[in-house]
A and B are shown apart, each in its own frame.
Chain A
Amino acid sequence: MNYFPDEVLEHIFDFVTSQRDRNSVSQVCKPWYKIESSCRQKVFVGNCYAISPERVIERFPGLKSIFLKGKPHFADFNLVPHDWGGFVYPWIEAFARNNVGLEELKLKRMIISDECLELISRSFPNFKSLVLVSCEGFTTDGLAAIASNCRFLRELDLQENDVEDHRGHWLSCIPDTCTSLVSLNFACLKGDVNLAALERLVARSPNLRSLRLNHAVPLDILQKILMRAPHLVDLGVGSYVHDPDSETYNKLVTAIRRCKSVKSLSGFLDVAPHCLSAFHLICPRLTSLNLSYAPGIHGTELVKLIRHCRKLQRLWILDCIGDEGLEVVASTCKDLQEIRVFPSDPFVGNAAVTEVGLVALSRGCPKLQSILYFCQQMTNAALITVAKNCPNFTRFRLCILDPTKPDAVTNQPLDEGFGAIVHSCKGLRRLSMSGQLTDQVFLYIGMYAEQLEMLSIAFAGDTDKGMQYLLNGCKKLRKLEIRDCPFGNAALLMDVGKYETMRSLWMSSCEITLGGCKSLAKKMPRLNVEIINDNDQMEVSADDRQKVEKMYLYRTLAGQRKDAPEFVWTL
């Protein structure tokens, strides 16, 4: 290979698409590093504070597409104050300054302002794709800038963002000359959109394959849109408030019948009446169904719908489906690979599914790889059965609504159950646990979870040994997040070098002290050890023995970050 000219190597490397593989390629030898870096177009930065934008630009001059992640995962659950950080502006500003030919931007858990969106729209003439997941800090005015100025816009995908809605003119800003749209998702927007503009947009977008509407798009517009876009592959229905006796409804049924390519269905944010028979025509071809934002679909209607979905690979659903409903899923969806069962009422603290549903799924769906399951209770026996039935899990997340609940039958901790999971699922990469758990479960994880990369634990363990088993065992661990566990300095400081092999560690409401964190920071200069001191719990001259409420540490080549707010101390 060393005798091939660079262009040939480049051509070969073009076939290597995953970031991990490209990272491996670049580590083979210096010439390969140089060539790979010069031609890499797609870059993934898992922690925006791990490296400076300048350094990324320098290493990857061919950069066209970037995926950045900002806040720690537990920010999703209100454990991180809003202005902690994760601002994307410095990156965009650096890209603009250095004439990076940015075409695609994907952000997760970051703060992006309207000014930043405007800067993007003006600085990158070939900008094609904007994907924002769980971001905040912007309004529909920023979207209007993107819409107006990005002439080759292909994709605008907004997933679960907190957007301030200044009403719907942004959509009308997409110029009539723009006909390149392939994917549009504005389901998370709360306000109205210009419906006429939406119709015209769909009419002039022959390449449109993915469209997810928000609740403000009524049925008659949906019908008209579907008539114009029969080649849709992914559809998110906004509002489904209909009158089955009306002309509009009949037209809708006709339109749906023409959509022979729809493989993915979601939305149904408002549903009345509950009957979804119009969509039964689409169901047999569906591979992905997301009804997790559709509390209006339940009971027999929901089950009726599922019975038609024999080809389903991915299902996101609310727990109102119940254990019986999950039995129907298990007997119908033999190709199921991923399932997520969310609680319909997260506030009441009661879930409508139990271990029975989980076992049924494991029995009926042998291809199951990824699960997120919010449930009322669990047993060791059930987990052991699931482990036996489904050894192919790569992602296993179980959330019992009462986080320290033991085995519902034996009252024992759930150590054996989770132990069986990690023992059987040799390819397990992500694990979240709940229920009563002792140090024992960590012993199992350390022993068996060889491929584990991300672990989330809460209210578990008895002593420092628990965390020590983890740090000793899981060689591939990249992200560890711990809350409300009795792990202290002895565990934290046991193997400080380990943290440089990981992306990040989060510990909140544990037993670590300020002194322990300081000691760690001193030993490891290439880690940022941040203490989040919201609620003013600690004073600057605090006693080293005082417990630290929230600590987030991550490896970095960029040194201490300069945008940390007052309440974040980098030690």
Chain B
Amino acid sequence: MERSMAYESDLNLKATELRLGLPGSDEPEKPSTTPSVRSNKRASPETSEESWSKSSSSVSNVENCERDGTPPAKAQVVGWPPIRSYRKNYFQEKKNDQVDGAGMYVKVSVDGAPFLRKIDLKVYKSYPELLKALEDMFKLTIGEYSEKEGCNGSEFAPTYEDKDGDWMLVGDVPWDMFICSCKRLRIMKGSEARGFGC
């Protein structure tokens, strides 16, 4: 044991060790930073707050990338990108209307069921697909959807609440129009839907 250690110090492995950094400097290699960190004169908005202690109001939500070596979360820089607040608010509202990021989830209630479910309308491309999915989800039959007869003598009638708050029968309007205006679904019992054309 002692012999190998002495051997190692004779070789002075440290001096010949290949590493980045000036010869003679003993500092450990810095953890890699993201490409957005470049010249040390100008800190990008994503980097640590240290160089921005006096200007911290322009940056919020910054994570210090040098501490843990992982790329920082995208910082929310105030006033960037330079878009008028009217436009920003407009698009924010449009986003909120759509709910849940990429999906378009709406609540589905079935008369007599103890709890509601949620489905993503964006997943379906047409009424037959949607109705099939509802049948599978709730283990019931809504029946064949047809242009002329709507729900063909089944136990249940699919209805939806539209943007105006009215309850409508599923199937009357084009699919695209339907998914834009549907706020929630309710599968009504046939007995309640009598005289409704079902």
Contact = CB atoms under 8 A, between A and B. Distances in A.
Contacts of B174: 243-245, 273
Nearest to B79: A77
A274 interface: yes
Interface string A408-447: 0001000000000000000000001000101000000000
B81 A346 contact: yes
Contacts of B57: 509, 535, 537, 549
A458 B181 contact: no
Contacts of B42: 404, 436, 459-462, 486
B55 interface: yes
A537 B58 CA distance: 13
Interface in B36-78: 36, 38-39, 41-42, 44-45, 54-55, 57-58, 74, 77-78
A547 B57 CA distance: 12
A188 interface: yes
Given A349-B74, A403-B77, A483 B58 contact: yes
A508 interface: yes
Contact of A374 (B36, B81, B92, B94): B81
Given A74-B79, A244-B174, A486-B42, A160 B84 contact: yes
B82 A399 contact: yes
A49 interface: no
B45 A345 contact: no
Contacts of A343: 81, 83
A367 B85 CA distance: 31
Nearest to A436: B38
Interface string A457-494: 01111110000000000000000000110100000000
Contacts of B55: 484, 509, 547, 549
B135 to A, nearest CB: 26
Contacts of A346: 81, 83, 87-88, 91
A463 B41 CA distance: 9
A402 B86 contact: no
A403 B85 contact: no
B177 interface: yes
A550 to B, nearest CB: 9
B90 interface: yes
Contacts of A76: 82, 84-85
B97 to A, nearest CB: 10
Contacts of A344: 91
B86 A188 contact: yes
Given A293-B90, A486-B42, A243 B85 contact: no
A241 B84 contact: no
Contacts of A549: 54-55, 57
A270 interface: yes
Contacts of B38: 404, 406, 436
Given A404-B36, A404-B42, A535-B57, A241 B85 contact: no
Closest 6 CB pairs of A and B: A273-B176, A77-B79, A509-B55, A160-B86, A404-B44, A272-B180
